Amino acid sequence: MSGGSIPAVSNVAEYFELVRCAQWCGEYSSVALQFPDHLLPYSTQVAEYLSSPGRRVHILADTNYGSCCVDEVAAQRLSTAAIIHFGHSCGSRVLSLPTLFVFGAQSVNVESIEAVFRGIYTAGDYVTVILDTPYYHCRSELVARLRSFGGVVVQRRSLEQNTPQTEEEEHVTDHVSEHVFYVGGESLALTNCILTNGSRKVHSFDPVTGETRLESRRVNKLLIKRFANIEKIKECEIVGILVGTLGIKHFREVIERVKQVCKAAGKKHYVVSIGKPNPAKLGNFLEIAVFVMVGCAENSLLDCAEFYQPIVTPYELEIACVDRPWEVDYISDCSTLIGDANCAIPSVTGPEEEEGTKDCQLSEKFRTLDLAVNFLHDRTWSGLQQRLGEDEPAVLREGQRGIAGFYENETVCDSRMSEGMGEARRVEGNFALSGACPNKPPPL
């Protein structure tokens, strides 16, 4: 479960691994607890357990961006020394704060996972097993059960970052595994797994529904949608760089690389930061034809069917603009594009360098029109107009006085007040209603 409905938690201490959390944050004087929306009902119980006389505990909710990423900016505003991230995590690198990841120990029948696995694969197959975060707690047991399969690797996830005990997430190279077995339900994590493993056969098993699917059949449909967006990038003139994170390592470098790609392709670009994107927010930027999402590997793969403009990834932008080759395994982690020797961005020579004189620079500057301003000029409606000198000035009139329930210039009480609300009188700092309607509001 990567998000959605509130899980039924019978044992809060076991589900949220509170003993491990208390041991980890014992050395920190201030700790922030980040919860996704569906786990917020349990946040106060967790905070009470982890609170102590020498430690301040803060609850972070309603993150500015995806809940799978660590909201380090919000934690730093509270001057916290560390952060514990609860729920699903995309595994993106955190900037600097010591971070502990608690995925949530959702109950699962490991025997059923083993039975499905043995029904699909043989002892000679090389398989990478990826456990979705709620089922990661059973990794050790699953490894023991699949020990007879010599070519099986159960992927390891990072449980801590920016601490001495940090354990890097294990990535399996192409020549090691031919198959991927994903344990988890439908989610952005599964979509990312399918796209980034295009050269392998991907099977998924949902422990909740018991459904097993060959996900490799879906990869063509997903890639066709992504490829259609690439064609739209080639035709557009204005690109919006959508900031989808402020807490992932190297996100600034990725934004700078996207800017360079846009300049090399001769496209105008604007940086837009609006938090969690939705059609209403992005609909305010009609002059922008395509948005490029700079975020984590999962939140970058937005389904833009409901949006007015397509939302693409930096990888797709480079395919359209600088002739980056289309890889069999999709690149969703935009940080891997930094310093990639396989795709060099051509340098752009500005007009001022070609002409060499200030006069030519100024003439080129005034001759180059801003595309967004032109778009706004051509629109039939461009916002409220002042119309100075065109309309007669309005006559100022005195408005009403009083409170919403009754105003001074009213002579007849509202029917709802006359039926029982009555006269307003002050009682212990609050207003109680009884009797007839007053002629003026009570004193404050």
CA 99 to chain centre: 18
**Longest Cα–Cα distance in the chain:** 91
Identity of residue 125: D
CA dihedral 158, 166, 93, 325 (to 10 degrees): -70
Count of residues making up the chain: 444
Phi (first) and psi of residue 292, to 5 degrees: -110, 115
Cα-based distances in Å from 357 to 69, 184, 288, 349: 48, 63, 33, 15
Q: What is the per-residue burial (b if ≥16 Cβ within 10 Å, else e) of 72-93?
A: bebbeeeebbbbbbbbbbbbbb
Phi (first) and psi of residue 193, to 5 degrees: -65, -40
**Cα angle: 193, vertex 37, 84; to 5 degrees:** 75
> Are the beta carbons of 279 and 103 closer than 8 angstroms?
no
Identity of residue 387: R
Give the residue from 175, 222, 214, 170 showing the smallest Cα distance to 196: 222
Number of H helices, E strands in the chain: 15, 18
- Calpha distance 221→143 (Å, rounded): 33
Alpha helices in 25-149 (DSSP H): 43-50, 72-77, 110-120, 139-145
Task: Give the pLDDT score at 411.
Answer: 65
How many Cα atoms are found within 13 Å in the side-chain-facing hemisphere of 160? 12
- Calpha distance 156→113 (Å, rounded): 17
- Calpha distance 182→218 (Å, rounded): 14
Mean pLDDT for each consecutive 10-residue tract of the chain (444 residues)? 64 92 90 92 93 91 84 89 93 89 92 94 91 94 90 90 69 65 92 89 93 84 84 90 87 92 90 89 88 90 85 92 83 83 66 48 45 65 73 84 80 50 39 40 43
* Exposed/middle/buried for residue 221 (C-beta within 10 Å: 0-12, 13-18, 19+): exposed
Beta strand pairing call for 82-86 and 99-102 = parallel
Task: Give the pLDDT score at 121.
Answer: 93
